[in-house]
Chains A and B, each alone.
Chain A
Amino acid sequence: MTVQPFDPRVLRRDFPTLDQLVHGKPLAYLDNAATSQKPKRVLDALDDYYERDNANVHRGIHELSRRATVGYEEAREKVGRWINAAESAEVIWTKGTTESLNLVAMAWGLDHVHEGDEILISVLEHHSNIVPWQILARRRGAILRYIEIDDQGRWILDDLDTLINDRTRMVAISHVSNALGTINPVQTVIEAAHRVGAVVVVDGAQGAVHTKVDVQALGADFYAFSGHKMCGPTGTGVLWGKRELLEEMSPYQGGGEMINVVSRDESTWAALPHKFEAGTPNIAGAIGFGAAVDYLADVGMDGIIAHEKALLEYALGRLDEIPGMTIYGPRSLEERSAVISFTLGDAHPHDISTILDAEGVAVRAGHHCAQLVMQHFGVSSTARASFYLYNVQEDVDRLVEGLGEVARIFA
């Protein structure tokens, strides 16, 4: 594929799902923060694998098993390069960000967090970066502390020196908020955590989609993200971790593939990354994730980021004109990614979503698995429109028109 100038109208043709009528209207898909659509190239990679190479990995001597293993490991290398990992052995396949975070909480946390220790997270987190730490804190008698947020959904870091102290063992923070789109100053927190010897895991479920991730430059100890939000198949994710931490960690699950030698009383573990990949993995998914990263590399992250910003600016401007509109989150484009959480008058977000759906406009309504954020703003839910590389200004216009219908019904 030759590199073309960034044009969402051309790119849209790569995504079969976008070409359909929903309730008789062309689909305007604005629920990308939940999951992205998949380009043909990823779908073809899945088909090719199942139609030609399907076999288990790292087990067989036969040709198909060899091909499956090569495809699976090549995909790991592609994703590793995508995030600038020092080596692909630091890339652990998981079924998504949630599993990646749980892996850290259980495999690292249970061995290193003890009674009275502190775990620091933020109010902005998705439930998948809150609940595993609550479970860990309860099991270990540890204390869970929070970075609070201001009225624009930005971290308040004035008291960072007390939030991160010599009792802090673990810091778990999101790179980009799924509920508000806030791009968080993770580097500041990572540096403060490392000054006291705490370990940092970054939830990159949105960060890996909307920013160029360089795990070495970022300096965190772990980075967790999903394939399905960045053009890859569902059920794919990665935990990247620094080799020295992964080496000394206990396994997360026991089973095939993760062992070296099994005897009656004990076993020894396979080398990285297989130590954390018990059982038959999502082989097709990993290969599809690799194809997604190839696709994104050809499109180019600079073009994607610039396009998303332009669309975000246009959408914020248009939505601001609507009477009764409340937009949550940061107002500066530098601090926000392509996510807009909003409410409109006294129309409940669920009703907003139903009315928009009838117009062919897909948005998310609810608490976005971020009830602490909702509580902060005193709402039970919001509607959320989120953009990706294939969205165009017409999608925003359709959203605005649909909101006109909401205003009419709830007049």
Chain B
Amino acid sequence: MPKPMETPQLSSLYQQLILEHYRNPRNKSELDGKSVEIHMANPVCGDEIRLQLRIEGDEIAEAKFVGQGCSISQASVSMMTTLLQGRSLDDAGTLARRFTDMMHGDEDAAKDKALGDLRALQGVSKFPVRIKCALLGFDALQEALKKEVSGGTN
């Protein structure tokens, strides 16, 4: 019989805060006057979002999203949008990197208060097949930032 694998705890994955964002997503609607929109999908599971940002100068004036998917992907993008309002593009980039680090098991990143509610998603890093779900929104954000830097609206 093969050696049993390490068993991560479900309770670390499905925290109340995550389920709460899944049920009541923040900033989930079409954004008027958006300056950039990124569509990001996971063809394996059908999760998809459209992240919409209104950018003024080097600042994200407003961030919204529409989409559908599992609790992890939808909670992650919902939490992310709450942190993006009024944030500089540089800060947003740092946030995306810190969150990605946390997903890849970086304990320091997981203690970073700048991640706010997103720290509730730390448990996802113990479920390798679900990391993609948590990163869906941040992948869209990084794509959006790349677009802005390489000659967007400014």
Contact = CB atoms under 8 A, between A and B. Distances in A.
A20 B1 contact: yes
A24 B4 contact: yes
Contacts of B133: 350
B44 A366 contact: yes
Contacts of B4: 20-24
A220 to B, nearest CB: 31
Contacts of A347: 71
Contacts of B70: 348-351
Contact of A348 (B1, B71, B127, B129): B71
A365 B45 contact: yes
Interface residues of A, number: 25
B19 A409 contact: yes
Interface stretch (B5-13, B28-36, B99-107): B5-13
A382 to B, nearest CB: 10
Interface string A351-373: 10011001000000111000100
Nearest to B10: A358
A346 B23 contact: yes
Given A22-B5, A24-B4, A348-B71, A409 B14 contact: yes
B46 A380 contact: yes
A266 B7 CA distance: 60
B1 A381 contact: no
Given A355-B10, A366-B46, A19 B1 contact: yes
A129 B10 CA distance: 37
A91 to B, nearest CB: 33
A410 interface: yes
A351 B133 CA distance: 11
Greatest chain B CB density within 10 A among A20, A350, A371 is at: A350
B137 to A, nearest CB: 15
A351 B72 contact: yes
Given A20-B1, A410-B19, A351 B14 contact: yes
B94 interface: no
B7 A358 contact: yes
Contacts of A367: 45-46
Q: Is the interface of A mostly helix, strand, loop or mixed?
A: mixed
Interface centre among B46, B69, B71 (most CB of A within 10 A): B46
A365 B45 CA distance: 7
A351 B1 CA distance: 28
Interface in A127-163: none
Contacts of B71: 347-348, 351, 410
A380 B67 CA distance: 11
A45 interface: no
Contacts of A20: 1-2, 4
Nearest to A348: B70
B153 interface: no
A347 B14 CA distance: 11
Contact of B7 (A19, A23, A405, A409): A23
Nearest to A350: B70
B130 interface: yes
Contacts of A349: 45, 70
Interface in B1-58: 1-2, 4-5, 7-8, 10, 13-14, 19, 23, 44-48
A105 interface: no
A239 interface: no
A126 B112 CA distance: 45
Contact of B10 (A22, A380, A409): A409
Contact of B13 (A21, A22, A354): A354
Contact of B130 (A19, A354, A371): A354
Interface in A380-411: 380-381, 405, 409-410
Given A349-B70, A354-B10, A354-B127, 13 more contacts: A20-B1, A20-B4, A21-B1, A22-B4, A23-B5, A347-B71, A349-B45, A351-B72, A354-B13, A365-B45, A366-B45, A380-B68, A380-B69
30 contacts: A19-B1, A20-B1, A20-B2, A22-B4, A23-B4, A24-B4, A346-B23, A349-B70, A350-B45, A350-B47, A350-B69, A350-B70, A350-B72, A350-B133, A351-B71, A354-B10, A354-B129, A354-B130, A358-B7, A358-B10, A365-B45, A366-B45, A371-B46, A380-B47, A380-B48, A380-B68, A380-B69, A381-B46, A409-B14, A410-B71
